[in-house]
Amino acid sequence: MNIQRKFDLSYMELSVPQAFPLGRYLAHQRIVLETVKRVLERGWYVLGTETESFEREFAQYLGVAKAIGVGNGTDALELCLRGCGVGPGDKVVTVSHTAVATVAAILRIGAVPWLVDVEPGSLCMDPHALEQVLEQDRCAGSGIRAIVPVHLYGRMADMPAIMELAAQYGDVPVIEDCAQATGASWQGRKAGSWGKAAAFSFYPTKNLAAFGDAGMAVTRCDSIAESIHCMRQYGWRQRYISESFGVNSRLDEIHAAVLRVMLPHLDEDNQRRSSLADYYHAAILPSKGRDIRPERQPYPQHVYHQYVVQVEDAGLLQRHLLQFGVSTVPHYPLPVHRMPAFLHAFPGHDQLPVTDTLTGRLLSLPMFPDLMPKQATHVGKLICDWLDSNP
Ligand SMILES: *Cc1c(COP(=O)(O)O)cnc(C)c1O
């Protein structure tokens, strides 16, 4: 169903938002309202049958053993790290070109992020950079306790290479940050089913979205699942008796119930995103030898959380498109190691040349399942015109 035809969203002809969380509600309005009503009338609101069912269904969808519903994606990542035994002072390898949440989760444990560069094509963790720090660390006496690849913009990091390196260097736990890649896969294996554990976010703009904050930790290891299960609620194994460290990070029944309604539509929504990416790709032709489009590969299967173009000055293009009512967002204006809050946290992190050259160059175009192909084509044409008139 095309919701822009069903509802009067003709204003979107004039203004194209970058994301449109309302679209998921409008597309499934009746069943969402019925579902919320059912949960409200049942009278059990936190960690009940809806959460349990969604955990089971989500684990099944991914092909992993266990899924544990939590409050948000950042908590999911923190609890995955803790569940894999990461503690204060431990080194965790990840990328600087990511949502700040990735690094915030590591810092919250008191662990030490070790930021590596990304590949210029995939914009995900560079396996060569990973190999270098693993080698460096081995010589220095092995302090690396986890590797966190981020499947950025809906494209998976090179998991075959990363898993091989992790195995080679003493089975370092790999924890996937899947917040932007729900439903992506590589060689038929879903993002989140490769590492020892993985974190998902269901923030309203993500590919699988709740109407509020929600997240999920998944793992193929029963003991890690058990540990996360306890940690999400005060370290309780038995009600009211804390046996280990714990926090409060629970998945609400209303969110779980709505996510159960949305999960069967995820593949179809991702297909729409992917098809919109095709429209962008066809419309944004290389100009004067410059190709600003994201790299396309047969593998991995990209779910286009974002469609990100790369230009000299993303701010200029952003302002240009805004004149035509087209909203875009820079993801991200600064890499984590250049953010004011973290400048002092990462001494010696000046060696991220690819990450640093991306600063100010990336712009995420409008991307959501309800965007119409003709809108993508229209935005693509606006960009082409701008490229042609800007030497
Ligand atoms: C959104 C996001 C997170 C955090 O998820 P929240 O649910 O917002 O806490 C973590 N990592 C990445 C890459 C994200 O995009």
pLDDT in tens, 324-339: 999 999 999 999 999 9
pLDDT at res. 346: 74
The closest of 335, 303, 299, 360 to 94, measured between CA atoms, is 335
Q: Is 98 in the pocket of ligand 1 (CB under 6 A)?
A: yes
Give the separation between CA 44 and CA 5, rounded to whole angstroms.
37
CA nearest ligand 1 atom 5, residue: 73
Tokens of 369: 């399942």
Domains delineated in the chain: 29-264 (3.40.640.10), 266-389 (3.90.1150.10)
- pTM score: 0.96
Tokens of 167: 């195995």
What is the DSSP-derived secondary structure letter of residue 365? E
Q: Is 177 in the pocket of ligand 1 (CB under 6 A)?
A: yes
Q: Pick the most confident of 8-17, 223-232, 290-299.
A: 223-232
pLDDT at res. 299: 78
CA nearest ligand 1 atom 1, residue: 179
Q: Where do we find the tokens 């990091």? A: 157
CA of 344 to the centre of ligand 1 (A): 23
Closest ligand 1 atom number to CA of residue 305: 15
CA of 99 to the centre of ligand 1 (A): 6
Q: Is 364 in the pocket of ligand 1 (CB under 6 A)?
A: no
Q: Are 335 and 358 in contact (CB under 8 A)?
A: yes
Task: Determine the residue type at 350.
Answer: D
Closest ligand 1 atom number to CA of residue 74: 9
Q: Mean pLDDT lowest for which of 38-52, 196-210, 268-282, 292-306?
A: 292-306
CA of 264 to the centre of ligand 1 (A): 22
**Average pLDDT along the chain:** 94
Tokens of 315: 């701010």
Query: 362-365 and 307-310 as β-strands: parallel, antiparallel, unpaired?
Result: antiparallel
CA of 384 to the centre of ligand 1 (A): 32
pLDDT tens-place string over residues 196-252: 999 999 999 999 999 999 999 999 999 999 999 999 999 999 999 999 999 999 999
pLDDT tens-place string over residues 148-197: 999 999 999 999 999 999 999 999 999 999 999 999 999 899 999 999 99
Closest ligand 1 atom number to CA of residue 72: 7
pLDDT-based confidence at residue 8 (cuts at 50, 70, 90): low
CA of 285 to the centre of ligand 1 (A): 32
Q: Which among 70, 72, 74 is the best mutation to test ligand 1's pocket, defined by most ligand atoms within 8 Å of the CB? A: 74
Peptide bond into 153 cis (omega under 30): no
Closest ligand 1 atom number to CA of residue 76: 9
CA of 51 to the centre of ligand 1 (A): 20
Q: How far apart are the first and last CA of the chain?
A: 42
pLDDT tens-place string over residues 54-71: 999 999 999 999 999 999
Q: Are 327 and 18 in contact (CB under 8 A)?
A: yes
CA of 184 to the centre of ligand 1 (A): 16
CA nearest ligand 1 atom 14, residue: 179
pLDDT tens-place string over residues 343-383: 877 766 668 999 999 999 999 999 999 999 999 999 999 99
Give the separation between CA 111 and CA 99, rounded to whole angstroms.
18
Q: Taking 80 as the threshold, does the pLDDT of residue 12 lie above it?
A: no
Closest ligand 1 atom number to CA of residue 75: 9
Q: Is 180 in the pocket of ligand 1 (CB under 6 A)?
A: yes
pLDDT at res. 142: 75
Q: Which among 102, 156, 304, 308 is the best mutation to test ligand 1's pocket, defined by most ligand atoms within 8 Å of the CB? A: 102
pLDDT at res. 282: 97
Q: Taking 60 as the threshold, does the pLDDT of residue 126 lie above it?
A: yes
pLDDT at res. 11: 52
What is the DSSP-derived secondary structure letter of residue 302? -
Q: Mean pLDDT lowest for which of 8-22, 30-44, 61-75, 236-250?
A: 8-22
What average pLDDT does range 269-278 have in this prediction? Answer: 97
pLDDT-based confidence at residue 1 (cuts at 50, 70, 90): very low
Q: Where do we find the tokens 């309202």? A: 33
Q: Taking 90 as the threshold, does the pLDDT of residue 265 lie above it?
A: yes
pLDDT at res. 63: 97
**99 or 290: which leads in pLDDT:** 99
User: How many helices (H) and strands (E) in the chain?
Assistant: 15, 13
Q: Mean pLDDT lowest for which of 53-57, 69-73, 295-299?
A: 295-299
Instruction: Kindly state the percentage of the chain with pLDDT values over 70.
Output: 95
pLDDT at res. 298: 79
Q: Are 119 and 91 in contact (CB under 8 A)?
A: no
